[in-house]
Amino acid sequence: MNILEAIEFFKNRHLTTLKRSTNMGYLLIFNNLRTYFDGRAVESITPDDIGQFLESFTASFSKRTRHLRYAQAKAFFNFVINECGLNIKNPCEHSLLAKQFKNPKSSARKILDKELVDEMIYSTSSQMDRLILELQARCGLRIGEVLKLSLNYTYIFKDPGGHSAINGFKCIRLNITVGDRINASLAIVSWNLRKWAMETG
């Protein structure tokens, strides 16, 4: 079996079950495999060949992307060898290749403490920026989820006197449900939303 036949076999049997983004990644490496090996038999491909191929293909990529392309090539050869019953060892399974295209360790993300977050929120000059930061900090919303919010997510809480207020400030309460991940409510002192609260309540 040559490399072109192996690629077509993999695409017909395996790519139909994968996500679109995963398919795009495999198609990228397949295009380079076709160009580099140009019809060579799968059995003739050695670890040195794979190393040179991946090095030329991923030289300008980040370490994480280089590891991803190596993992894709390894998965491709594993699938072809197992499904076609080829009596060869995966050319990607070599200690030097595994070390060369090793996945870098992720550095721990810095988590801001509550005092710093509050300071960022209260020192914001733009009222809209403050609202966005409040929603992200208090509800755990992503920026994309905040930007998609609309009036449909809001309702007004009123005290027995008929006023929308918390601690004497006009306010609006947002009842937020985004998919199944978040079901939270947040009361926001709405200097910037005071007119909105008066109009709707």
Q: How far apart are CA 39 and CA 36, in angstroms?
A: 9
CA 50 vs. chain centroid, Å, equals 28
Looking at per-residue confidence, does 91 or 144 come out higher?
91
- Residue 172: CA atoms inside 13 Å, Cβ hemisphere, count? 23
Domain spans of the chain?
3-100, 114-200
Q: How far apart are CA 134 and CA 140, in angstroms?
A: 9
Task: Give residue 72's identity as a one-letter amino acid code.
Answer: Q
Q: What is the pLDDT of residues 168-196, one digit of tens each?
A: 444 445 554 444 444 444 444 333 444 44
Q: pTM of the entire structure?
A: 0.54
Q: What is the DSSP letter of 44?
A: G
Tokens 């809001």, residue?
A: 154
Rounded to whole angstroms, what are the CA distances from 149 to 61, 70, 117, 137, 139? Answer: 37, 40, 22, 15, 13
Q: How far apart are CA 198 and CA 201, in angstroms?
A: 5
Q: How far apart are CA 4 and CA 86, in angstroms?
A: 16
Domain boundaries 3-100, corresponding CATH code: 1.10.150.130
Looking at per-residue confidence, does 31 or 109 come out higher?
31
Helix ranges restricted to H, 123-192: 127-139, 143-147
Q: What is the pLDDT of residues 190-200, one digit of tens each?
A: 334 444 444 44
